[in-house]
Amino acid sequence: MKHYRKELWFEIPTRRAFINITPDVDICLKESGIKNGLLLCNAMHITASVFINDDESGLHRDYETWLERLAPHEPVSQYHHNTYEDNADAHMKRQIMGREVVVAVTDGKLDFGTWERIFYGEFDGRRKKRVLVKIIGE
């Protein structure tokens, strides 16, 4: 069995953003040479997510509104976590949007449904963060 590991680095200039990382993950898959197996992709930070959904800007604005309703950033004093930090909302947003995705690899391709794409969700940006890509298979 072959195995492959790579860290993708991001430094998002805003506090929050959704980035389509499917092209980066595709490059990893090509580099790995693996044709059939499983691909794991996870955020290595507890205030960022990796998830699969539609690459549609209206949906991403809807996510932003929905997440702000569930876990508003302000007032930061409403959270016990915010003693020396102000990112309690980012931890909660990450929890809802998830840590990782697993994608089947079939015939050298990400075995997606029609509209599935992989996103990096940043909830406390403006610093360097990592995403892990691990691929195992033949």
Using CB under 5 A as the binding rule, whether residue 122 contacts Zn ion is answered as no
Amino acid found at 68 = E
DSSP-derived letter for residue 45 is S
Least spacing, CB of residue 89 vs Zn ion, in Å = 10
**Residues 29-68, mask of contacts with Zn ion (x by CB under 5 A):** ----------------------------------------
Identified binder of Zn ion from the candidate list 56, 85, 111, 138, rule CB under 5 A? 85
* Chain CA centroid to CA 66, Å: 17
Coil vs helix vs strand at 13: coil
d(CA 51, CA 116): 10
**Residues 87-116, mask of contacts with Zn ion (x by CB under 5 A):** x-----------------------------
d(CA 63, CA 53): 11
Least spacing, CB of residue 82 vs Zn ion, in Å = 8
Total of residues contacting Zn ion (CB under 5 A): 2
Coil vs helix vs strand at 15: coil
Task: Pick between residue 16 and residue 103 the one whose CB is nearest to Zn ion.
Answer: 16
